[in-house]
Each structure stands twice: as C-alpha cells, then as structure tokens.
Structure 1
Amino acid sequence: MAQAARSHHGLFTFLDTDGKSHPVENTVAVATLVIGVIAFVTAHFPHLHLVSSWVGLIGMISGAWGQLRSVTTGERFLLIIGLGASGVGFYLGMAHGGLFGGVLG
C-alpha cells in the first residue's frame, strides 16, 4: 500500500483530491479567487471603477483558462467562485465608468 504511506505536504493539498499534484492548476484557481475578491470589493466603490473593471476582466480570463485546465472538483469550485466575483466586479466597474474611465472621451 504505497499510496497510503505517501503523504502530501504543501499549500494546496486540499485541492489535490485525486492524489496527484497539480501545482499550475491549483495556483491558477487560488489566484483567480484572490483576483475575484479584489474585483468584487473594489466594485463597491464607484471611484475605483478602473481597478474593478480591469481586475475583473483579468479574473474572468484567468478563470476561464483555469476551467479548461482544471482537474479536480476543488479547483473548479474555487474557479467558479472567483469567476463569479470577477464578473460582478467587472460589470459594476463598467457601469461606474468602464475600463478607461473618461480618459478617451
């Protein structure tokens, strides 16, 4: 029973439910979650619309790419939470002034 003797030590071990290490996928999932939280929080302040719209856009792109690469349910769970928060941040940022915020017009 070599599998039972093997122990995983690391930051993202709770995401590796299949017993294999997925460092790139886990990092993208956690980064998308953090980016989504930043976009969501900054979206509630209209004067931070540039931050929320750009960070939300980056979070949606990284979350979509992460969904293509995700392997485990834990990764997909974090990616969907991050994608949702990024989407809210992006759309509220767009409603408050957009990606360029009057710089072009």
Structure 2
Amino acid sequence: MPHFLSPSQSKSPSQSKPTRFTLNSDGRSHPLENLLSIVTLVLGAIAFITALIPAAHAVAAWSGAIGLAVGFYSQYISVTTRERSLNVIGIVGSFLGVALGIYHGGFLPG
C-alpha cells in the first residue's frame, strides 16, 4: 500500500478519472455476455411490470418466457459476478412475469 502511505504522489480528486459502472470486473471485454445480461434484465422488468396489469397477460407471458430462455443461456456463459447478479434479477422478474401472465390468461390475447 505505498499509495496510501505517501499521499503526496496521489492525484487530487479533480485530476482522477471518474469511476463508472462496468460489468467487466476482470478487466477483459465481454460484449456478448454483457448484452445478454442487460437483455435479461430488461425482459425481466418488462415481464414483471406487465404482469401486474391483468389485461397485459400476453405481453407478460411472452416476455417472461423469452426472458427465462435468454437468462438461462446468459447465466450459462456469464463470466463475472456482476453479470450473474443481473442475470438472477432478470430471471426472477421473468419467472414472476410468466407465472402471473399465465395465471391472468396465458400466452394468447383475449
């Protein structure tokens, strides 16, 4: 920890780079894995939100089913813990969406 012991060499807060959220915690680029994790999260959110509206049961059921399939594949190929965390959140949202969508009327509108 030499940077902690000698603060004269450290950069001031205005000179340091701003921190940003990234899914690549291992320092490598994973574009496919990151994309699938974000798609899973978005589909899970859509499925969960539309599952709360009984008239939107078809959207909830389909987005939940697709979200489950994408989420399971994304979990299978995920590399970092951050990707896996987003996958789990998206998979749970997709499951709740497909379950409530099927309960409210299934995959076909009507």
- TM-score tier after normalising by the smaller chain length: 0.7 to 0.9
- 1:66 corresponds to 2:66: no
Residue equivalent to 1:45: 53
1:37-85 CA-partner distances (Å, limit 9, x unpaired):
0000000000000000000000000000001100000000000000000
- 1:98 corresponds to 2:73: no
Rg larger in 1 or in 2?
2
**Structure 1: runs of 5+ lacking an equivalent:** 1-10
Cα distance in 2 for residues equivalent to 1:60 and 1:99: 15
Q: Determine helix, strand or coil for the equivalent of 1:15.
A: coil
Identity, in percent, stands at: 47
TM-score for both structures, normalised by structure 1: 0.83
Aligned Cα root-mean-square deviation (Å):
1.3
Q: Runs in 1 of length 4+ with deviation above 3 angstroms?
A: none
Cα distance in 1 for residues equivalent to 2:48 and 2:37: 16
Q: Determine helix, strand or coil for the equivalent of 2:22.
A: helix
> Residue 62 of structure 1 aligns to which amino acid in structure 2?
V
**Structure 2: runs of 5+ lacking an equivalent:** 1-19
Paired residues in the alignment total 91
